[in-house]
Structure 1
Amino acid sequence: MRISGTDRPGPTLAQLLALIAAGTLDVVVAPCGTGVPVSDVVLHDPGEERDDEVWAATGLVLLAVGVDIASPEAVDVLRSADRAGAAAVVMRRGTRGPRTSLLEAAERGRTALLTRRPGQGWTEVLGRLRTALVHSGPDRSAGAAGVGGLRLGDLPGLANTVADLVGGAITIEDPQSRVLAYSRMDHEPDPMRRLTILGQEVPRWRVVELRESGFFQALWNTDDVVRLPADGRYAERLAVAVRHGSEVLGSIWAAADGRPLAEDAAAALRTAGRAAVPHLSHHRTWGRAAASAREGAVHALLTGSTQAAHELGIARDRPHAVLVAEAHDGRGTAPGDAGQRVLDVLALRAAAYRPGCVTARSGRRLYAVVPAVGGETDPARTLLATVRSVERGMVFAGAGPVVPGPAELPASREAADLVVRVLRERATRLPAAAAGSAVASYEEVVAEAAVLRLLDRVEPLWGAVPGPVHAMMEHDRAHGSLYGDSVAAHLDAFGDTAAAARRLNVHPNTLRYRLRRARELFGVDLDDPAVRLLAEVGLRLGRRTG
């Protein structure tokens, strides 16, 4: 295998090791120290080498795929890498340590010997080292000043900074046209930007349109900015590919945002394309793991973890409220893809709502921790309005009360959960209520929430106190009769037979007959206050189990 080195000065091996996650690699022997410069990191399969082929690996870190540090061929691999001028070679560390002959060969040469710890894949190690290489290399300063001071991997921050430079709206996408980040919206977006952000990807029909027109071919095959003129539907757009060597990491799109793009927008976007390399490279390598860890921290925060609050940068003395959104299929049951898509959109909206708003998913639920500003008592009001506007018939959403600090967030979450339960039970009791997205704050349903708390306490005792309501409910389960539904409708309508009959879609005389039979067969006499109370409790508990 022929591997060419490069004369371009690069960061040192020590700098790369400092940037990657601790515990990924171990230095076994470094005869020249770890201050040696590194030009690139490559996967190296020693099995591809030929004895009669001269190859160079000056300044390279070679990841020796398939070579265990205790294997007999390890010495030959190290010597070959040393002759080629490699900066370092990385081998797999098994259960046994290195052979004495390998350590002696390493100490006599110039190439550092490193090991990959168990549990780390070669692809993961390659990605982390290359990300560190890009972040610490000389190219980093070439555009960093233009987007300066950003934390590595802060794609939303990058999008906002580039938007200021080009005077337009920015969207950062991966090579599959999925949205990674977008800039704040100072003006109403054009229809394509709205569709792209809400769907978290460019619509498929638009991707096909751009592919067939040759736009993507032009974009992926140049380092320059490609222009997409305005037409009757959409504003003018500029796009630039973000690439590391021959690898395309994604693209940055600039759209006119209520005003023409700046005169030097193309030059600014070209600079941004170079500066975005370490950020997209970092996102590719660590983005998913970091997002998962962040979600875990949010879940820990909602159970009272003060350490999680510190990890998420939430101040101890800042008030917050919790919003819970639960997807369903329009009938109050488990959601399909559409319901999950609504949660995805809400997560995006929440992240863009205000600084410090964090979210986490759990099954068909989305949790959002919303900071309060200026003494407001309902910081989630705007997000609740967003739920109403996103999609009808797909979400129950509730906001808990504002609490003074992160330690009290579990109480706000519990209250928000109760709101969602109230809305779900309303939809079960009154199916027409599930026709639209139901939202409420805790203050709006405080009485119903208190009833739910009481029913939670009563439920374990209910089965131990049989009576007329139990007999009626058991008869309905066994025979498919509707006495319980009829009694429940009559109670919900406060004894208004006509209104209860309309709710059940039956004639009032039919309802009167059922109520009379319920009294005759089971003793459910709704003129008796005690029986009415038992019927209300029992039928509400019965709805929980279907």
Structure 2
Amino acid sequence: MHTSETDRPESGSTLAQLLALIAAGTLDVVVAPHGTGVPVSDVVLHDAGEERDEEAWAATGLVLLAVGVEVASPEAVDVLRAADRAGAAAVVMRRGARGPRAALLEAAGRGRTALLARRPGLGWTEVLGQLRTALVHSVAGRPGGAAGMDGPRLGDLPGLANTVADLVGGAITIEDPQSRVLAYSRMDHEPDPMRRLTILGQEVPRWRVVELRESGFFQALWNTDDVVRLPADDRYAERLAVAVRHGSEVLGSIWAAADGRPLAEDAVAALRTAGRAAVPHLSHHRTWGRAAARAREGAVLALLGGSMQAAYDVGIERGRPYAVLVAEAYDAGGPAQGDVGERVLDVLALQAAADRPGCVTARSGPRLYVLVPAADGESDPAGTLLATARAVPRGAVLAGTGPVVADLSELPASRDAAELVVRVLRERAARLPAAGAGSAVASYAEVAAEAAVLRLLDRVEPLWEALSGPVHALLEHDRAHGSRYGESVAAHLDAFGDTAAAARHLNVHPNTLRYRLRRARELFGVDLADPAVRLLADVGLRLGRRTG
């Protein structure tokens, strides 16, 4: 433990306030001899094995997280007694398979320090983060607290950005330590190119990050509490930036740029104040913002799965028509993974919120789901989003929309239809790789026939796998020997028996195709002159493409 009496904040918060603000079940109060209304000044990790001069050690008002100490361990009593002598408000130990020993409970009852137990499965870092954020939260919620600035509710980063913009007189962007955009102020004027790139990409462009890192700008920013100035050059206007830090931890940064007018004369002082005021907001975002976002996405997915209760959690309007859009980042090998796919879907989610107020988005693996509100009588509310998906840079996107539904209970049907559209587009891309090199979008109405075929094949597939026959034998031979009989038969069927057209599609001579078709009949009995065999071949070959 390395925190001294002089550098601990005098927060005035109580243990009860912290316990009320952290996630339920994180900590259990084992014994609190003076109740939980005791004041807390800070929360620190405490190494019980660290040697110290007992007379010099003071921990008045601290909550000590006793790393490595379990309530049932022999050293627990000594750790608690030492913390009590030092004046600690509370000490937290890990709860193991066994409960606390009687000696520990007796020592806790005789002292002043509360004994708390951390539930299994949580790490000390997570507990430390929750308690410290709760500490800042409790201070910010009181008049004259840490925020130091009237304005948005705790965690409202867009509101904070707008408040700071009014004070600084410019455009504000709030970023995390990795230069990803957390929030930005409203745009009263056309943004300069860098601000536009940053907002649309939801992060500072990588090449710009490299520039700032190599110039030493980030090193200066992260190592001072003051405002750092980035001079104007022949490309971009002047920027001011300040790091937002809680103790030694950097939570992010606030950037100010001229927004069609010069920055205010006191912009530096205002931004310095904003850096301090932003601490509880970014702390809250780090601890609860991501969890809240995950919970909201979970509610959206539950609503798309048919849970009407989730509509209250999502906050969408009952009685208003909606359509579901599904977008999937895609490359030739299948759904795109990694940073490129993530960025493509992030851009689409941002565009959805900008183009159509009331849109609700959720991510699930490589897919983005968008609930698009429709005006009365509107049949294609997602048309603009589909156009955006078609033109999105840095990778292919498959995007489809389901029909507009009048009631929220019908959203799962719209989602199913949109997912089916994406499947149709994926199969097209796999069947025609050259045509699938770019983005592909469609509404359900545009691919209704192909979607219906997919539905039929889904139902037929279990029965097909239980059967055997000429087409099964042909497919098995192709898999085992790498032959191309199935591909040749499929091309012939798709070309309605036009051998020349099918040969051009396969890039082979027509005589080569005729030879393959003859061998398919001789070896396996796949006679395309027989209508029943043609039907079975079409079904079997379509199903065969699903499994390669």
TM-score by length of 1: 0.86
Q: Which residue of 1 aligns with 2:211?
A: 209
Q: Which residue of 2 aligns with 1:11?
A: 13
- Alignment: residue pair count: 545
SS of 1:328's partner is strand
Q: Which amino acid in 2 is paired with 1:126?
A: L
User: Unaligned 5+ residue runs, structure 1?
Assistant: none
Give me the whole-angstrom Cα distance separating, in 2, the residues matched to 1:402 and 1:353. 18
Post-superposition CA distance 1:342-377 (Å, at most 9, x none): 234434444555555444433333333333355533
| Pairwise CA distance, 1:418 | 0.5
Which of 151, 156, 161 matches 1:148? 151
Give me the whole-angstrom Cα distance separating, in 2, the residues matched to 1:355 and 1:184. 15
Q: Which amino acid in 2 is paired with 1:408?
A: E
Which of 238, 241, 245 matches 2:240? 238
| Percent identity (aligned) | 84
Q: Which residue of 1 aligns with 2:340?
A: 338
Give me the whole-angstrom Cα distance separating, in 2, the residues matched to 1:263 and 1:506. 74
Q: 1:413 to 1:12 in 2, by over 3 A?
A: same
SS of 2:93's partner is strand
Q: CA RMSD in A?
A: 3.5
Indicate yes or no: 2:404 matched with 1:407: no
Post-superposition CA distance 1:373-414 (Å, at most 9, x none): 555333332322222222365221111222234432221221
Q: Which residue of 2 aligns with 1:248?
A: 250
Q: Which residue of 2 aligns with 1:308?
A: 310
Post-superposition CA distance 1:443-474 (Å, at most 9, x none): 21112111211222233344567666556555
Q: 1:265 to 1:500 in 2, by over 3 A?
A: farther
| Pairwise CA distance, 1:132 | 0.8
Residue pair 1:227, 1:238 contacting (<8 A) in 2 also: yes
Q: Which residue of 1 aligns with 2:87?
A: 85
SS of 2:398's partner is strand
Q: 1:171 to 1:498 in 2, by over 3 A?
A: farther
Post-superposition CA distance 1:307-340 (Å, at most 9, x none): 3333323344343322222233235566565334
Which stretch shows the higher mean deviation, 252-261 or 420-429?
252-261
Q: How does 1:135-534 map to 2 (within 5 A)?
A: 135-137=137-139, 141=144, 146=149, 148-150=151-153, 152-163=154-165, 165-183=167-185, 189-197=191-199, 200-262=202-264, 265-330=267-332, 332=334, 335=337, 338-350=340-352, 354=356, 356-373=358-375, 376-391=378-393, 394-462=396-464, 469=471, 473=475, 476-477=478-479, 480-508=482-510, 510-511=512-513, 530=532, 532-534=534-536
Post-superposition CA distance 1:195-214 (Å, at most 9, x none): 44455543444334323433
Q: 1:257 to 1:444 in 2, by over 3 A?
A: farther
Give me the whole-angstrom Cα distance separating, in 2, the residues matched to 1:299 and 1:118. 29
SS of 1:299's partner is helix
Q: Which residue of 1 aligns with 2:66?
A: 64
Q: How does 1:527-546 map to 2 (within 5 A)?
A: 530=532, 532-546=534-548
SS of 1:137's partner is helix
Which of 27, 32, 35 matches 1:33? 35
Give me the whole-angstrom Cα distance separating, in 1, the residues matched to 2:164 and 2:82. 46
Q: Which amino acid in 2 is paired with 1:27?
A: V
SS of 1:119's partner is coil
Give me the whole-angstrom Cα distance separating, in 1, the residues matched to 2:467 and 2:296. 47
| Pairwise CA distance, 1:540 | 2.2
Residue pair 1:43, 1:65 contacting (<8 A) in 2 also: yes
SS of 2:67's partner is strand
| Pairwise CA distance, 1:509 | 5.6
User: Unaligned 5+ residue runs, structure 2?
Assistant: none
Q: 1:444 to 1:268 in 2, by over 3 A?
A: farther
Q: Which amino acid in 2 is paired with 1:176?
A: Q
Q: 1:97 to 1:364 in 2, by over 3 A?
A: closer
Post-superposition CA distance 1:12-61 (Å, at most 9, x none): 22211111112122223333332222221112223324355322222222
Residue pair 1:323, 1:380 contacting (<8 A) in 2 also: yes
Q: 1:41 to 1:517 in 2, by over 3 A?
A: closer
Q: 1:522 to 1:63 in 2, by over 3 A?
A: closer
Residue pair 1:392, 1:435 contacting (<8 A) in 2 also: no
Give me the whole-angstrom Cα distance separating, in 1, the residues matched to 2:56 and 2:516. 95
Give me the whole-angstrom Cα distance separating, in 2, the residues matched to 1:452 and 1:9. 63
Give me the whole-angstrom Cα distance separating, in 2, the residues matched to 1:186 and 1:8. 40
Post-superposition CA distance 1:485-541 (Å, at most 9, x none): 344334434455554443233445655665566667767666665555444333322
Q: 1:457 to 1:414 in 2, by over 3 A?
A: same
SS of 1:61's partner is strand
Q: Which residue of 2 aligns with 1:134?
A: 136
TM-score by length of 2: 0.86
